[in-house]
C-alpha cells in the first residue's frame, strides 16, 4: 500500500469510527470465519494451511477492534461439524493450528491484560484429547475475566446444538425420563406421577417445552442472543451458525476473505447494524 493509499485509508477509518461511536454499539457479535482456503489459493500458497494460520492471527486484530468499541461478547465459528468430513490430514492440521493458537492465548499479554474470558462451545467430545487439555487450561486461566467474553465454536453445528439442548432438557426432567424408561412401562409404585396442576403428561409437556426452558440448555446458556452476525468471503448464508439464537439478529455479509478482513469492513458492518436499528425505531 502506497503512502497516499495509507493516508486515505486511515482518514476514512477514523471518520467511520467516529460515526459508529455516536450510535448504539451491539453488545454481542457473532462472526463466521470463512475464506481461509480461498485466500491461500488467491495468494498462490502451495500450503493452504498458510491461509488458516493467517486467519488465526486475524482474530487478535478483530478482538482489539471490539475492545475499542466496548463490545462485550464475541462468538466466532472456527470449526463446524461438517468440517469433520474433510480429509483426515486437513482436519488434523486444522486442529494443530487451533491448539497452537489457544495455547498461545493462555499466557498472551493481550488476552490477560484485556481480561478476555475464553470459552469453547460445540461437541467437545469430538475434539482430540490434546486440544481438550489446552482448552481446559485456557478456560481455567481466564474464568474470572469479565471485560470481554469470547466464545469459540469448535465442532459446532446449530442443528446439533438444538438436539443436544432438548436431550439435556429431557435428561434433567425425572417425569419425562420415566415415560421413556421401559422399566416403568407397566406402572408401579416407583412410577413418577404427573406434576400437580396438569391433567396428564401431554398437558405437562405442552406447558414446559418453551423457548425459555430450551434456551437454558444451549451451549452458551448464559449469553444473550447476538445482535449482529458477520460472515466473510461473500457467502450469503448462515450454514447453521447460532441457528436458535439468531432469530432476531441482524446479518452482514462481507466479500473479503477472513484473513483480509479490515477494520473498515468491521466498522461498515457495525454501521449497517446501526442504520437498521434506527429504521426499526430501537
Active-site annotation, residues? 34, 83
E strands, 92-200, are 116-121, 148-156
pLDDT given at position 177: 65
Q: Is residue 198, in this structure, part of any structural domain at all?
A: no
C-alpha cell at 26: 451491539
Spatial CB neighbours of 11, under 8 Å, sequence gap ≥ 6:
none
In a domain, 211, yes or no: no
Element (H, E) at 230: strand 228-231
Assign 181 a pLDDT band (cuts: 50, 70, 90). Answer: low
Phi, psi of 152 (to 5 degrees): -110, 115
Number of folded domains in the chain?
Answer: 1
Q: Is 11 within a domain?
A: no
CA–CA separation, 159 and 16 (whole Å): 37
**CATH number of the domain residue 230 falls in:** 3.40.1180.10
Distance CA 227, CA 251 (A): 9
Q: What is the pLDDT of residues 137-169, one digit of tens each?
A: 999 999 999 999 999 999 999 999 999 999 898
Name the β-bridge partners of 79.
154
Residue 114's pLDDT is what?
Answer: 98
**Residue 56: domain span:** 27-162+226-265
pLDDT of 1 reads 64
Q: Is residue 194 part of a domain?
A: no
> Does residue 33 lie within any of the structural domains?
yes
Q: Does residue 50 form part of some domain? A: yes
In what order do the strands lie in the sheet containing 28-32?
A: 116-121, 148-156, 73-80, 28-32, 228-231, 250-253
pLDDT digit string (tens) for 49-95? Answer: 999 999 999 999 999 999 999 999 999 999 999 999 999 999 999 99
Q: Does residue 187 carry a pLDDT above 60?
A: no
Does the residue 250 lie in any domain?
yes
In a domain, 5, yes or no: no
Does residue 269 surpass a pLDDT of 90? Answer: yes
pLDDT at 221 over 70: yes
Per-residue pLDDT band at 3 (split at 50, 70, 90):
confident
pLDDT at 241 over 80: yes
> Does the pLDDT at position 119 exceed 80?
yes
Indicate if the pLDDT at residue 227 is higher than 60.
Answer: yes
Amino acid at each position: 500500500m502506497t503512502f497516499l493509499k495509507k493516508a486515505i485509508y486511515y482518514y476514512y477509518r477514523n471518520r467511520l469510527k467516529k460515526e459508529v461511536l455516536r450510535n448504539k454499539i451491539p453488545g454481542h457479535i457473532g462472526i463466521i470465519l470463512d475464506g481461509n482456503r480461498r485466500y491461500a489459493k488467491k495468494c498462490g500458497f502451495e500450503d493452504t494451511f498458510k491461509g488458516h494460520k493467517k486467519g488465526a492471527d486475524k482474530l487478535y486484530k478483530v478482538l482489539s477492534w471490539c475492545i475499542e468499541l466496548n463490545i462485550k461478547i464475541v462468538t466466532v465459528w472456527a470449526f463446524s461439524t461438517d468440517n469433520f468430513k474433510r480429509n483426515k490430514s486437513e482436519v488434523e492440521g486444522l486442529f494443530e493450528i487451533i491448539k497452537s493458537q489457544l495455547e498461545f492465548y493462555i499466557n498472551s499479554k493481550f488476552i490477560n491484560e484485556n481480561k478476555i474470558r475464553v470459552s469453547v462451545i460445540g461437541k467437545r467430545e469430538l475434539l482430540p484429547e490434546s486440544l481438550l487439555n489446552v482448552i481446559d487450561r485456557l478456560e481455567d486461566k481466564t474464568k474470572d475475566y469479565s471485560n470481554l467474553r469470547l466464545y469459540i465454536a469448535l465442532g459446532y453445528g446449530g442443528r446439533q446444538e438444538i438436539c443436544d439442548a432438548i436431550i439435556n432438557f429431557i435428561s434433567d426432567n425425572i417425569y419425562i425420563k420415566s415415560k421413556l424408561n421401559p422399566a416403568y412401562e407397566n406402572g408401579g409404585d416407583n412410577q413418577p406421577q404427573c406434576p400437580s396442576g396438569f391433567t396428564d403428561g401431554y398437558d405437562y409437556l405442552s406447558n414446559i417445552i418453551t423457548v425459555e426452558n430450551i434456551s437454558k440448555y444451549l451451549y452458551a446458556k448464559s449469553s444473550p442472543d447476538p445482535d449482529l452476525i458477520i460472515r466473510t468471503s461473500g457467502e450469503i448464508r448462515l450454514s447453521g451458525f447460532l441457528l436458535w439464537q439468531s432469530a432476531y439478529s441482524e446479518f452482514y455479509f462481507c466479500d473479503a476473505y477472513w484473513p483480509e478482513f479490515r477494520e473498515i469492513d468491521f466498522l461498515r458492518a457495525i454501521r449497517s447494524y446501526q442504520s437498521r436499528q434506527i429504521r426499526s425505531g430501537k
